Structure 1
């Protein structure tokens, strides 16, 4: 017999797990499956619990009135079944909503109703939570000592029931309160305990997407920790608090990427049941088929219902794939022995990352104020910058201008440069700049920012510039790839795929190999390697200058050391073929597709038709890229916005770069906006000429190519050349 009540309980519990890990929408999906089952079996207690849990999700999503509606449905049900614990939980949650709405006295009324009920049912964990929440309200009301009294009652209860998550929350609240009273040393002690507990909780979260989501929900703790350390540094500049703050910044960023690259190096799929690996490939293929079907549908007539159905199927497959990949980690013999890298401290960064010619500029954007650490091999200097809101107010219009307007000048970045570069300008000294950005600064082309004292001259003139998600990432990549043999062949160039059914190449097997577009074709000169967003099919115009780009690059290499794939050959089949691992450089000149919500849907667009004129799956998506074996020294994504992705707090941009690094790329050249087709062809030709003819390493070659563009007159605007940046090891 089917146990609908048991099924409802299981669905509710799964929802709880997802909610705790920060996956609120997934949690809501499970709760909404559980609710009608509880009602069907007339389990009013289970119904009340699920209503309460749904309220919690809406509360966390900021939909306070909806949350109250669900809590107010749960409360009479709990009372009807005489569940005093459930009643207490709901009263507590209602109090929290009123607290967030600023109705402090109403909040206290509900919390003070909850507290004796918690004690009556001997729910010590719940009692601790309510005491903590009452303390928080009193803190907001300015009654600091009363607040501290409640926190001090909550803390031993949290510890007694081994509620590490709750203990970290209470310690953070105490530290915040103590900081506001000027008790910085006491606050630091509590904050260090909170951070250590948070690190422990993070290590216990399932690896991958769920761990990443959990980490994004606790970033405020790292922000408070850094604030405390920097305040102490201002009071005691010689005590090394700035070095500790820098280390905290490293601990707060790009951890999932570090762990992904460690897993790639450990080959965690080795020794795993082949059936599981086959199942993973099957899910990826099913997902690709659904996305191809959706693309085909949006090219013609379609209904919203049809798109919604495919979107639901796609999301379901993504969830199944994430769960399966977690299972693969659990059963992997190599994963069991894997030691994840730890974020480096200041001394380790100076020893393992920096050289005499490199200056690290690490930015951290905070709600109260932001920070910049300038680090050399033997020094650290810290600077206080405006808060994130003020920086965004200057950075956003600059970013929009340089993304869209080909008349944008270097000088238009002066206001931003005065915030980000002017404080440290006396330390720059023509050194290489390693930029570790944060927040909106990840979208800014630092190479195009002006030298503060020379508003018409970009930083590029005096500096090589390389970007990274964290300094630790550079060190770990170096260690992991130190003894890797260099691939046997030189370059694979994949360009000028067939996107549209009206492409003349579908009706003719005559190649336009010797007929590149004329440089005075203004319509083509304005074309960009366009960005696709969301669920509808983007307009994928042919990129004729990518053909010229491919020809110019290929001619620089001996024929037996290169492969040049154009037209139908610029296919997903080639991009995923094992033979591609034989090449030191992989160059894609095509459209990029960035999905702002689901990074798994981001990718590169290759030929969408085969030589017979039949529709073909040409999307090389992020999951495909993660499954490639590309031990390349350099991957060049000569496409639009390939350096972007979904921004995740504590992780940075989750997009194509991490996929290619996981696949084995030592460094990746990516773009920050929709790049002009003709200008990109010119830039890339110069870039490869510098590498091959002048024997320059990629970072210097890219800088020289960009300088040539800037000095050319025709391409002087940074709109044309500033988008491209190099990520990874510069050596």
Structure 2
């Protein structure tokens, strides 16, 4: 690098080496490399801030005074230039320093401000290097704030900790909905005119403008000629323009979750006396739970750790695959397979439920909000040694408490008079044709059916927004690393997750009869997401989806019982109750949990 006079590039390499040294605990080498990089970053404020932040990390625990001096320098620079990613990083680091000093209230304040600045960052607006600076850290700020509140051990902090846990849970869905409402690129063209929407064109231009402005910082500035105040005002004005346009675009869809701030008192008003809400959270690899009823909020710590759950889930999925993949199982082996699976579900129950307040057993309905890999746990199938949880109460899932309140408040715009059933027949899914006919028969003569050549993306868009019930039978695919590779196979092409997120649905219920339709674990420790969350973001009040691949027979039986209990003339049970009753019926015929427990209901009941 030096031979080519690439001094900035050499300094960036030094910074990467310094970060690596920190990860190996070699703080002296990290300091040397950070100082070396800092000396090369002249008139490059973003690079200078990065170097000082790395230096502060290296100094944090054995020389906190020097660390604070570097933090002060970065904060002055970041506030002067008003750079949200750098403000997030420096305030996060200040919070960590305050926490190590035992000044917990100040730590919480620093973490809170870091989160506020993180909320300013648009996932696709900042220059690439700024996005990289914030991506993996955003979640850690939440975890550190939550851990500090727990460490304070003050009962008055329980409600505050619950709000933080809620925001952690809804962050992924908020980003998903917001991104879809604004970043459709080629997918947002009008299919008839092939013209991009004017607001979308303006949004793209503003996005590019902001990227250029941030690139100015990354490329370096001469402060003798660069007017910082004018630049900062221009930056803020552009952000305001972008936010206004973003909200206008979002209003065309259902990305209105920004207003869904959690008010615990309002939430409790929506919980009946026989309903308990369980919000799980993961902090420092340990699992905690918030137990919320109509008149109390309680925090339960030390439920277990993530590694226990990972091991148990791996064993459970082995048992599920063993049962689903066995076309012929001897009667002698089958009871043993069920018993092995029950034992794993009992261990999961022991970790996640046995330490919770005993009065939970009096609840007729549990609203469960998982986090991280807990999204992959079939809570309704957990076994207490005598019964499955679903045999005791109705179980429904929601992405977060504030979104639960939001979905409950969401009004339906149609009566149950316009069902839509879509079946894209594939050679590997031969039972779809029969499923489409079966479901349409339950829903009545007003049902619109799209199958084979009619099941195109354009037809889906045409009918889905008006549908009161939406049943999709076909092939789904979920990618943890690329939302562009996630979606549902239609006749002409894939219906992408971005398109699903941006729908303006009014459906009471969406049923996803496809593999990979439920939660999937995300990469980089982020929260789980999936096709089901796309439909919640797209406006659906409730979604029925599967946690794993199921046989044609078990899904056919589950749907038959579900629709007969939710939509028959003589019986219209709430969706959660209808699914509970359907799964109990299937359990009688196919007792292995792999067959009856695959489906989960996410969202609000009627």
Q: TM-score range by the shorter chain?
A: 0.7 to 0.9
Q: 2:166 aligns with which of 250, 257, 263?
A: 250
**Cα distance in 2 for residues equivalent to 1:631 and 1:703:** 24
Change (3 A) 1:569 1:686: farther
Q: 2:345 aligns with which of 413, 425, 428?
A: 413
Q: 1:347 aligns with which of 260, 264, 277?
A: 264
Per-residue CA distance 1:109-167 (angstroms, 9 max, x = gap)? 2233344555xx46666555434322321235x34444344434544344344444333
**Cα distance in 2 for residues equivalent to 1:627 and 1:166:** 31
**Cα distance in 2 for residues equivalent to 1:219 and 1:624:** 26
Equivalence for 2:115: 195
Q: Give the conservation status (yes or no) of the 8 Å contact 2:476–2:517.
A: yes
Q: Give the conservation status (yes or no) of the 8 Å contact 1:549–1:685.
A: no
Equivalence for 1:520: none
Change (3 A) 1:88 1:246: same
Equivalence for 2:213: none
Q: 2:421 aligns with which of 481, 493, 496?
A: 493
Q: 1:182 aligns with which of 84, 102, 110?
A: 102
Equivalence for 1:447: 380
Equivalence for 1:287: none
Greater RCO, CA 8 A, separation 6+: 2
1:109 aligns with 2:29: no
Change (3 A) 1:75 1:227: farther
1:631 aligns with 2:506: yes
Q: 2:57 aligns with which of 132, 136, 153?
A: 136
Change (3 A) 1:667 1:122: closer
2:573 partner SS: coil
Deviation at 1:674, TM superposition (A): 0.5
1:600 aligns with 2:523: no
Change (3 A) 1:565 1:152: closer
Equivalence for 1:542: 430
Equivalence for 2:219: none
Change (3 A) 1:354 1:205: farther
Per-residue CA distance 1:281-337 (angstroms, 9 max, x = gap)? 9xxxxxxxxxxxxxxxxxxxxxxxxxxxxxxxxxxxxxxxxxxxxx99986793498
Equivalence for 1:463: 393
Equivalence for 2:312: 394
Change (3 A) 1:127 1:602: closer
What are the equivalent positions in structure 2 for 1:558-573 lying under 5 Å apart? 558-559=444-445, 561-564=446-449, 568=452, 571-572=455-456
**Cα distance in 2 for residues equivalent to 1:456 and 1:412:** 14
Q: 1:437 aligns with which of 370, 376, 396?
A: 370
Between the two proteins, the alignment pairs up a number of residues equal to 537
1:476 aligns with 2:409: no
Q: Give the conservation status (yes or no) of the 8 Å contact 1:202–1:214.
A: no
**Cα distance in 1 for residues equivalent to 2:493 and 2:456:** 5
Normalised by the length of structure 2, the TM-score is: 0.77
Equivalence for 2:517: 642
Change (3 A) 1:386 1:152: farther
1:170 partner SS: helix
**Cα distance in 2 for residues equivalent to 1:573 and 1:148:** 56
1:78 aligns with 2:10: no
1:424 aligns with 2:356: yes
**Cα distance in 2 for residues equivalent to 1:192 and 1:198:** 10
**Cα distance in 2 for residues equivalent to 1:227 and 1:661:** 29
Equivalence for 2:333: none
Q: Give the conservation status (yes or no) of the 8 Å contact 1:255–1:651.
A: no
**Cα distance in 1 for residues equivalent to 2:31 and 2:543:** 54
Q: Give the conservation status (yes or no) of the 8 Å contact 2:420–2:463.
A: no
1:362 aligns with 2:292: no
Q: Give the conservation status (yes or no) of the 8 Å contact 1:581–1:629.
A: yes
Equivalence for 2:86: 166
Change (3 A) 1:328 1:662: farther
Equivalence for 1:227: 147
Per-residue CA distance 1:164-191 (angstroms, 9 max, x = gap)? 4333322322322332343323322322
**Cα distance in 1 for residues equivalent to 2:39 and 2:447:** 76
**Cα distance in 1 for residues equivalent to 2:243 and 2:71:** 39
Per-residue CA distance 1:427-464 (angstroms, 9 max, x = gap)? 3113311111111111111110113xxx2411101111
**Cα distance in 1 for residues equivalent to 2:311 and 2:180:** 39
1:374 partner SS: strand
2:543 partner SS: strand
Q: Give the conservation status (yes or no) of the 8 Å contact 2:177–2:501.
A: no
Change (3 A) 1:405 1:124: same
Change (3 A) 1:619 1:94: closer
Which structure 2 residue ranges, 5 or more long, are not aligned?
Answer: 198-240, 325-336
**Cα distance in 2 for residues equivalent to 1:125 and 1:265:** 30
**Cα distance in 2 for residues equivalent to 1:414 and 1:441:** 15
Q: Give the conservation status (yes or no) of the 8 Å contact 2:177–2:502.
A: no
Normalised by the length of structure 1, the TM-score is: 0.65
Q: 1:556 aligns with which of 437, 442, 447?
A: 442
Q: 2:576 aligns with which of 674, 677, 699?
A: 699
**Cα distance in 1 for residues equivalent to 2:15 and 2:131:** 28
**Cα distance in 2 for residues equivalent to 1:472 and 1:569:** 40
Q: Give the conservation status (yes or no) of the 8 Å contact 1:353–1:471.
A: no
Deviation at 1:212, TM superposition (A): 12
Equivalence for 1:723: 598
Q: Give the conservation status (yes or no) of the 8 Å contact 2:487–2:494.
A: yes
What are the equivalent positions in structure 2 for 1:495-510 lying under 5 Å apart? 495=423, 497-500=424-427
**Cα distance in 1 for residues equivalent to 2:300 and 2:437:** 47
Q: Give the conservation status (yes or no) of the 8 Å contact 1:159–1:167.
A: yes
Deviation at 1:603, TM superposition (A): 3.1
Q: Give the conservation status (yes or no) of the 8 Å contact 1:572–1:606.
A: yes
Q: Higher Cα Rg: structure 1 or 2?
A: 1
**Cα distance in 1 for residues equivalent to 2:180 and 2:272:** 27
Change (3 A) 1:376 1:265: farther
Q: Give the conservation status (yes or no) of the 8 Å contact 1:435–1:466.
A: yes
Q: Give the conservation status (yes or no) of the 8 Å contact 2:373–2:528.
A: no
Deviation at 1:675, TM superposition (A): 0.8
**Cα distance in 2 for residues equivalent to 1:386 and 1:555:** 47
Change (3 A) 1:158 1:629: closer
What are the equivalent positions in structure 2 for 1:562-711 lying under 5 Å apart? 562-564=447-449, 568=452, 571-572=455-456, 576=460, 578-605=462-489, 617=492, 619-626=494-501, 630-645=505-520, 647=522, 652-691=527-566, 692=568, 693-710=570-587
Per-residue CA distance 1:351-373 (angstroms, 9 max, x = gap)? 46433332111111123422211
